[in-house]
């Protein structure tokens, strides 16, 4: 982020006449793609909002520092139709294949929700020469891309239990991964539309994906770490191999880490719980309202001058 501010300040210091800054507010929706929702865009969208400062360098390029706050969630119960899964895979599923359990999401019973707080810096390129107040081009599509960081902390829907601290895939065990953090890098990119609403105000619409470098926005990433053969809800116990004698099945108390790891109590250690080769994604879409601030005196001739084309 320091580099981003240095770039902005160096551009502000240059003598271009068409430099302006926009202060903007945005609101819309946020959704996620991952181990529960592999490919349904806009499914389960939750409200999101944010604000930004955008430096407009001449009429083609803009640079934006933004903060976005939202929420994502998903539930296996919404993806439990085996026919839909079979269509997705293009064939029948052998339910005796341990690797197929991941695709039979109704067998997992997993769900999550988490707040997302993102801070990012993106560059925008306008399709047409554009600035708020222009009489020549009152609108333009644009592309954007950049980088940033976000905070997340998955919990079961409506439960408020910190899944990261529970180690639902055995995180922290000697033969397992280390616990994942609650902050990760993100690469925002997407497309939008800018519209001039007069000399000072602008309206925008935008949709953008966020590529992340974590597989645990949903707390699902690899395999089950416990052998769970069944449970007795009245006594609050589950059955698993005796650590001292694996051939013997004994009972253990149902604790939060056990329950939220495998709510159906039907999996064995090593079976697929998620796709460890695909990282999670999330997206933000919505509208924004901006107010233009002239950084240098505007001579009012940009629609006819050289700056209109750069």
Predicted pLDDT at 230? 80
Q: How far apart are the first and last CA of the chain?
A: 26
CA angle, residues 298, 302, 307, in degrees to nearest 5: 110
Distance, in Å, from the CA atom of 35 to the CA atom of 208, rounded to the nearest integer, reads: 20
Give the 3-state secondary structure percentages of the chain, helix then strand then coil, rounded to 5. Answer: 15, 40, 45
Q: What is the pTM of this model?
A: 0.82
Domain range annotation of the chain: 2-221+279-309, 226-269
Predicted pLDDT at 241? 86
Per-residue pLDDT of the chain (310 residues; tens, 9 = 90+): 544 444 444 444 444 455 789 999 999 999 999 999 988 899 999 999 999 999 999 899 999 999 999 999 999 888 765 445 555 556 555 555 555 545 554 578 899 999 999 999 999 999 999 988 888 889 999 999 999 999 999 999 999 899 999 999 998 887 777 899 999 999 999 999 999 998 899 999 999 999 999 999 999 999 999 888 788 777 889 888 888 888 899 998 999 999 999 998 888 888 889 988 889 999 999 999 999 998 766 545 556 454 444 4
Q: How far is CA 34 from CA 9, 45, 212, 258, in A?
A: 38, 14, 11, 22
- CATH number 3.20.20.450 is the correct assignment for the domain at 2-221+279-309: no
Predicted pLDDT at 243? 81
Predicted pLDDT at 7? 46
């Amino acid at each position: 982020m320091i580099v981003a501010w240095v770039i902005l300040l160096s551009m502000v210091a240059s003598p271009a006449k068409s430099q302006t800054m926009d202060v903007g507010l945005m609101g819309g929706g946020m959704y996620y793609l991952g181990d529960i929702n592999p490919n349904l865009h806009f499914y389960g969208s939750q409200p999101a909002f944010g604000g930004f400062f955008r430096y407009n360098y001449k009429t083609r390029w803009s640079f934006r520092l933004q903060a976005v706050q939202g929420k994502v969630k998903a539930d296996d119960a919404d993806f439990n139709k085996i026919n839909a899964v079979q269509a997705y895979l293009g064939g029948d599923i052998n339910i005796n294949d341990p690797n197929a359990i991941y695709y039979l999401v109704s067998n997992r019973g997993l769900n999550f929700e988490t707040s997302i707080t993102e801070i990012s810096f993106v560059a925008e390129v306008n399709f047409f020469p554009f600035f708020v107040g222009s009489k020549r081009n009152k609108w333009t599509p644009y592309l954007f891309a950049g980088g940033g960081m976000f905070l997340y902390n998955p919990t079961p829907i409506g439960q408020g239990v910190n899944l990261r601290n529970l180690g639902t895939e055995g995180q922290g065990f000697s033969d397992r991964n280390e616990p994942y953090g609650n902050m990760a890098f993100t690469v925002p990119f997407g497309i939008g539309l800018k519209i001039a609403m007069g000399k000072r105000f602008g309206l925008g619409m935008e949709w953008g994906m966020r590529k992340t470098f974590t597989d645990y926005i949903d707390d699902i990433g690899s395999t089950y770490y416990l052998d769970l053969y069944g449970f007795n809800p009245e006594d609050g116990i589950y059955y698993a191999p005796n650590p001292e004698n694996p051939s013997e099945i004994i009972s253990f108390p149902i604790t939060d880490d056990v329950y939220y790891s495998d709510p159906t109590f039907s999996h064995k250690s090593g079976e697929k719980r998620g796709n460890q080769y695909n990282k999670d994604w999330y997206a933000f879409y919505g509208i924004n309202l901006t107010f233009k601030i002239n950084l240098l005196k505007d001579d009012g001739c940009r629609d006819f001058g050289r700056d209109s084309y750069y």
